[in-house]
Structure 1
């Protein structure tokens, strides 16, 4: 009986320790998580989210080089990121696929991918998926929009049809950005982020 109780206690401690490595779900209104954490950009420089933030806010998108949903969202992502930059919203794309880091998600592969798709924003390597854990991000693409005060105003997908651009009825991220820039409360502040799973190390 004592041994069983001891075993269960140890299991509880182990599971609790494992879970504590992942932060809780990021609530609307929350500040930018790990805003001063410095991550390596494809340029070789180390950049923090605070440094990437512009006068009207910050858009953080978790992405991958190898993901069918990324291919389906390629033009949409480029369009919304260019819109953000035009309106003084900083843009950061983050690659947290640590399980594939030695292959298709290496820094060299990220640099090649960014060149092919003409990124004009930061593309950061998230070592040990530390930033993804802090955001509780689980898919690619998955978007987080922060206002000029660094508060979360939208999280979720680019639009309501991540698998098919022709079926889009609501440009959720773009609409959220328009509301934010106009000083309004975001009408639809969260949505499901459908896409490939972020490949964390086990």
Structure 2
């Protein structure tokens, strides 16, 4: 009898642990295509707080989790700037967010972000995810990691998730411009052919 009770107790614990693990896993996945992204308010490199609601005329947003120190992110800096120059006036501005723990990566701290943005001439907001509260909501895991949002009746709907293009090493050798293709599709009222790709980059430092 004692052995039966012990087995039942063990099974109960296993079931509870499994249930907790399953829930935790699902919660950590972040947004999927079709989900509505909640707004945020994060500090920009100019010291001002920025939220999506500030962009009244925007049709959507190219939200990119990126940083100063990751070689992949650095390789994409000029392309991110080009995306903003091409699409901001068409209603899809770039909103860059730095998600790393700056204690682990001091090269990504606020002062370093300011210096990098000035050196590169960024024309887009470069926001600090202080306390690392926003990137887990999105489910971002890499730098860079893109979330293309479109303003719809439901809210800021996620339309594309993943990489900027298919060649981080050489911009001239890119054959698929995932983000550009997705934004162009939205602007022309067409369906996005590739709605999700695998983000290539450094892991976000926690």
- Shorter-normalised TM range: 0.7 to 0.9
Matched, 1:24 2:29: yes
Q: Tell me which of 178, 183, 201 is aligned to 1:195.
A: 201
Aligned residue number for residue 176 of structure 1: 182
Aligned ranges 1:7-22 → 2 under 5 Å: 8=13, 12=17, 16=21, 19=24
TM-score (norm 1): 0.85
For residues 96-115 of structure 1, the aligned pairs below 5 Å read 96-100=99-103, 103-115=106-118
After TM superposition, the score normalised by the length of structure 2 is 0.84
Matches within 5 A, 1:87-126: 87-100=90-103, 103-126=106-129
Pairwise CA distance, 1:169: 0.4
Quote the residue 1:158 is aligned against: 164
Give unpaired runs (5+ residues) of structure 1.
none
2:142 alignment counterpart:
139
Tell me, in whole angstroms, the C-alpha distance in 1 between the residues paired with 2:159 and 2:105: 34
CA shift digits 1:27-58 (9 cap, x unpaired)? 111112x31x3111111111223324643111
The yes-or-no answer on 1:84 pairing with 2:90 is no
**Where does structure 2 lack aligned partners over 5 or more consecutive residues?**
1-5
What's the counterpart of residue 167 of structure 1?
173
CA RMSD of the aligned region, Å? 2.7
Paired position in structure 1 for 2:53: 50
- Residues 30, 10 of structure 1: CA spacing in aligned structure 2 closer, same or farther, 3 A cutoff? closer
Deviation at residue 71 of structure 1 after TM alignment: 2.1
How many residues of Structure 1 are paired with residues of Structure 2 in the alignment?
A: 198
- Whichever of the two has the greater Rg, that structure is 2
Cα distance in 1 for partners of 2:106, 2:12 equals 39
